[in-house]
Amino acid sequence: MLAEAECYLCHLSQVLRVLAVQKTGGPRALKMTSQACRFLAETDFGRTPPEISADLYKWLAELTGVKDPYFEIKRQDIKQALILYPELKKRVLQAPDRLRKAIMFSLAGNIIDLGAGAVSSWPQSESLFETEELALDDYELFTADLKKARTIVFLGDNAGETVFDRLLIEQLGREVIYTVREGPIINDASLEEARLSGLEEVAKVVSSGCQAPGTVIKQCSEEFTGILKEADLIISKGQGNYECLEQARGPFYFLLKAKCEVISRHLKVKQGSLILARSKNFHPRLEL
C-alpha cells in the first residue's frame, strides 16, 4: 500500500512528537521542523509509509543524536500492560470463547497505543477491553485456517501491546514464532522489549531483520524470509504491517485498528474500527 497525500502530514507530526519527547522547543525545534519539511519534500513518497518512516527516523537520529527517543516510554508501556495481564488472562479463561476474547484483548493493545500515553490507569481503559465488535470479522475463516495450521508466524507491532499478544498466543495452541523489529523504531517492539514482556515463555522470538515500523519483505533477513515461507498462518498485527503486506500473496490475517483516514478509506470502514481480516490474496504459502 503506497503512501497518500495525508501521509506527508502524518510523518511531519511524528517529527514534532519526537521533539516534544526530547523536550526540544523554541528556535531549535522550529529549525529542526523546517529541516524535516525539506527532508520530506525530497523524500520518495511512492513507497509504503513504513519505508518512508524508516528513512525519516534514521535522519532524525543523525540530526538529534538520539537513536531511541521512546526508550523509557516503551518500558513504561510494558510495565503498565503487565499490571493488566493477570486480570485479562482471568477473563480469557472465563470467556465462552477464549480464542475470540484473546483476539479482542490483543486488539485492545492496538487500540490503546500505549506509546501515545492514551491509557494511564485500569479504570480509564476498562471500556476498551469490553468491546466485541469487529468492522471486518473473518473469525470463522480464521478458526478454520487455524485448525489446519501447524506453524504460525505472528508479526508484532508496538512494545506495549506485546503483553496483550501473549494472551492470544496462549490460546492458539500451536507453535508460534513472534517477530519484532531489528532495532529501535518509534515505539515498536524489538528483541529487548519482547523479552521484557515475557513473550519468550510462549513463543520463539526472532527479529525480522527489518528496521522499518512494518514488515518490508525486501528488507528482511534471508533467515526470516525463510521462516515466512514455511508458515502455515501469518498473523499480521497493526497498521504498519498491513501497509507493507496487504498486497502480498500468502496465508495472512490482518489484526489492527484503522487509526487513520487513509487506512479507513482503504479498508472501507469507519476510522477507529477494529479489524480481523483474511487477506484478499490469501494463499497457503507465501509467494515472493
pLDDT one-digit tens code per residue, 226-239: 999 999 999 999 99
Mean pLDDT for 124-139 is: 81
Lowest mean pLDDT among 77-86, 119-128, 190-199, 245-254: 119-128
pLDDT at 159: 94
Three-point CA angle 122, 156, 65, nearest 5°: 90
Could you tell me where the DSSP H helices lie in 22-152?
26-41, 49-64, 71-94, 98-112, 122-125, 139-148
Pairing outcome for strands 274-278 and 136-137:
parallel
Mean pLDDT for 255-270 is: 96
Lowest mean pLDDT among 110-114, 208-212, 213-217, 258-262: 110-114
Residue 118 has pLDDT above 70, yes or no: no
Q: Is 113 left (phi over 0), alpha (psi -120 to 50) or beta?
A: left
Binned at pLDDT 50, 70 and 90, residue 131 comes out as confident
Query: What one-character-per-residue DSSP string does 158-203 give?
Result: BTTTHHHHHHHHHHH-SEEEEEEBSS--TTB-BHHHHHHTTGGGTS
Mean pLDDT for 237-250 is: 97
What share of the chain has pLDDT > 70, as a percent? 94
Residue 125 has pLDDT above 70, yes or no: no
Residue 132 has pLDDT above 90, yes or no: no
Q: Is 173 left (phi over 0), alpha (psi -120 to 50) or beta?
A: left
Residue 104 has pLDDT above 70, yes or no: yes
Asked if 188 contacts 210 with a C-beta cutoff of 8 angstroms, the reply is no
pLDDT at 276: 99
Binned at pLDDT 50, 70 and 90, residue 113 comes out as low
Mean pLDDT for 153-180 is: 97
pLDDT at 110: 86
Q: Return the residue matching grid coordinates 479507513.
A: 264
pLDDT at 111: 74
- Tell me which architecture the domain covering 72-278 has in CATH: 3-Layer(aba) Sandwich (3.40)
Model pTM score: 0.94
Point out which residues pair with 205 in neighbouring strands. 178
pLDDT at 112: 61
Burial readout 29-53 (b: 16 or more C-beta within 10 A, e: otherwise) = beebeeebeebbeebebebbbbbbb
Lowest mean pLDDT among 28-32, 100-104, 112-116: 112-116
Q: Look over the chain and give the mean of its residue pLDDT values, rounded to a whole number.
A: 93
Residue 115 has pLDDT above 70, yes or no: no
Binned at pLDDT 50, 70 and 90, residue 126 comes out as low
